């Protein structure tokens, strides 16, 4: 049931997608002046205006703005089938962005979208600006082709890259409006290849921490202070050694770990048996680097189930060209600690904060600011949904779907999983090879995007048929 062509996607969605791509609508974690800058509101209004133009029989478009929170778009599309349905299919995405994070390649820029063949380069187009366009085009295509669907609500939030601190408030607000949810489709996930629909089976959680160690009120000549005043960098290094084994990279905090189900280990073996060393092959490592994990399946499991610490930013350290002989007053580090999918993010945050602030060496002053989101493990897939995923992938891509865990985080799924424990979930997306989410040269593969849209349309239609058959 391939309903949408690339040409139709270009005609209906490419221009507003390019306009969105030009907006520096950074997530609040990366732009504390997001309200005054107005880019998130501009992006939300842009997508809402496009949504209102869709040729859908029953359409309601509302931008919700709770005080002190980023906006959220809710697009409600009424059921079109002849039989009455009582459940809602929710389709989720987000439009806030990561910062540029480095110098982009020649001719490319984070907010100057460039198309090369059928690849679109700009920050946020794949993670996750395409999602609103994909969800609504899938529904529009169904209606144009006379394929019935049930009631659907498209939710597009604006704080996902900050661990979705605003999402639960909106889910509370919209609880009655969403009603009985039968299926959740998340369009913010990854793909190991572009030859099939990839369905995510697990996601790691995350704790983001800004850690600051202060030893002086102001910088002092190193000849005067060094050897007497302890270095803030050395103390920061000591604190990090409490979290991570510096020799192996293993996380030392028990609350960040969780048992790995044997089924996920077997799935990793199956994926690497077919695709090879999928983790190593996609990473731009320097020549000769020894990777963690002995076998390809070990690396896939490490990426999807092992906790891991990354220092993603630092402050208080001058650039080498302007570094003087000064003992600096403070050092800050931004930590991204990925959690095992089954770990409790709140417990991990508490343990991490306590670890970094207890018995601080030399009684230095330490400040910790934390944000977190739990991981997620997909519930068992119902037979009707498994059949729909298979049909959707084969029709759109010509291959059966693939199933794999992802190393990133989508707090939405953890929040919805807790609220709706019996609901079926489909987490999928276009973040495949060379998509470079969060890095330089982020890329959206337009051909894969259209195929994902068509596969999602098949799943949405199947949800209606399943409910009709069982009502």
State which of 349, 373, 397 marks the end of a domain.
Answer: 373
pLDDT for residue 2 is more than 60: no
pTM over 0.85: yes
Q: Are residues 222 and 192 in the same domain?
A: no
Is 285 within 8 Å of 240 (Cβ atoms)? no
Q: Are residues 341 and 458 in the same domain?
A: no
Kindly state the average pLDDT of the residues 421-428: 93
Kindly state the average pLDDT of the residues 270-292: 93
CA 367/CA 459 separation, integer angstroms: 47
pLDDT of residue 296: 95
Residue 394 inside a domain? The answer is yes
Q: Are residues 72 and 214 in the same domain?
A: no
Q: Are residues 413 and 345 in the same domain?
A: no
Question: Which tens digits make up the pLDDT trace of 353-412?
Answer: 999 999 999 999 999 999 898 899 999 999 999 999 999 999 999 999 999 999 988 887
Residue 288 inside a domain? The answer is no
Asked if the peptide bond before residue 128 counts as cis, ω within 30 degrees of 0, the response is yes
pLDDT of residue 340: 97
b/e code 302-323 from CB counts within 10 Å (16+ = b):
bbbbbbbbeeeeeebeeeeeee
Q: Are residues 46 and 142 in the same domain?
A: yes
Q: Are residues 329 and 450 in the same domain?
A: no
State which of 332, 354, 373 marks the end of a domain.
Answer: 373
CA 127/CA 133 separation, integer angstroms: 13
Structural domain harbouring 353: 205-257+306-373
Q: Are residues 354 and 441 in the same domain?
A: no
Kindly state the average pLDDT of the residues 334-341: 97
Q: For position 158, which CATH number holds? A: 3.40.630.10
pLDDT of residue 34: 98
Residue 443 inside a domain? The answer is yes
Q: Are residues 413 and 464 in the same domain?
A: yes
Rounded to 5 degrees, what are φ and ψ at 201?
-100, -20
CA 422/CA 418 separation, integer angstroms: 9
pLDDT for residue 135 is more than 70: yes
> Alpha helix locations (H) across 195-306?
222-225, 232-243, 262-275, 278-282, 296-305
What does the mean pLDDT of the chain come to?
95
Residue 232 inside a domain? The answer is yes
Q: Are residues 314 and 446 in the same domain?
A: no
Confidence class for position 239, pLDDT limits 50, 70, 90: very high
pLDDT of residue 315: 97
Kindly state the average pLDDT of the residues 74-93: 92
Q: Are residues 179 and 111 in the same domain?
A: yes
pLDDT of residue 411: 80
Q: Are residues 178 and 52 in the same domain?
A: yes
Is 376 within 8 Å of 414 (Cβ atoms)? yes
Residue 400 inside a domain? The answer is yes
Q: Are residues 355 and 397 in the same domain?
A: no
Q: Could you give the number of structural domains in the chain?
A: 2
């Amino acid at each position: 049931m391939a309903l949408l062509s690339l040409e139709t996607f270009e005609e209906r969605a490419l221009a507003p997608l390019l306009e969105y791509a030009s907006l520096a609508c950074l997530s609040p974690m990366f732009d504390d002046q997001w309200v005054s800058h107005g880019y998130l509101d501009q992006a939300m209004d842009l997508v809402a205006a496009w949504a209102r133009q869709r040729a859908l029989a029953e359409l309601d478009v509302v931008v919700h703005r709770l005080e002190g929170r980023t906006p959220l778009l809710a697009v409600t599309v009424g059921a079109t089938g002849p039989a009455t349905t009582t459940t809602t299919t929710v389709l989720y995405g987000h439009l806030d962005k990561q910062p540029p994070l480095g110098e982009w390649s020649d001719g490319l820029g984070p907010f100057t979208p460039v198309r090369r063949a059928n690849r679109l380069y700009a920050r946020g187009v794949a993670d996750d600006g395409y999602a609103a366009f994909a969800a609504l085009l899938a529904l529009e295509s169904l209606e144009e082709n006379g394929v019935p669907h049930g009631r659907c609500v498209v939710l597009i939030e604006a704080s996902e890259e900050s661990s979705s601190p605003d999402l639960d408030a909106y889910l509370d607000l919209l609880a009655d409006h969403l009603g009985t949810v039968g299926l959740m489709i998340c369009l913010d996930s990854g793909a190991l290849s572009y030859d099939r629909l990839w369905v995510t089976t697990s996601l790691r959680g995350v704790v983001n921490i800004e850690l600051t160690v202060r030893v002086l009120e102001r910088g002092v000549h190193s000849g005067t202070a060094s050897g007497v005043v302890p270095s803030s960098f050395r103390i920061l290094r000591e604190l990090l050694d409490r979290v991570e084994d510096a020799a192996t990279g293993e996380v030392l905090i028990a609350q960040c770990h969780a048992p790995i189900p044997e089924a996920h280990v077997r799935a990793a073996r199956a994926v690497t048996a077919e695709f090879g060393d999928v983790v190593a092959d996609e990473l731009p490592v320097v020549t000769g680097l020894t990777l963690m994990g002995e076998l390809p399946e070990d690396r896939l499991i490490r990426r999807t189930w092992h906790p891991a610490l990354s220092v993603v930013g630092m402050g208080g350290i001058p650039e080498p060209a302007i570094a003087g002989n000064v003992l600096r007053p403070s050092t800050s580090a931004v930590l991204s600690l990925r959690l095992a999918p089954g770990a409790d993010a709140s417990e991990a945050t508490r343990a991490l904060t306590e670890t970094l602030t207890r018995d601080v060496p030399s009684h230095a002053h330490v400040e910790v600011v934390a944000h977190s989101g739990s991981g997620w493990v997909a519930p068992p897939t119902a037979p009707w949904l498994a059949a729909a995923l298979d049909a959707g992938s084969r029709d759109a891509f010509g291959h059966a779907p693939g199933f794999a865990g992802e190393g990133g985080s989508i707090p939405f799924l953890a929040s919805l999983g807790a609220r709706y424990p019996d609901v079926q979930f489909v987490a999928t997306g276009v973040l495949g090879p060379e998509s470079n989410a969060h890095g330089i040269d982020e890329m959206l593969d337009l051909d894969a995007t259209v195929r994902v849209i068509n596969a999602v349309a098949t799943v949405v239609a199947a949800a209606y048929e399943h409910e009709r058959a069982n009502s």
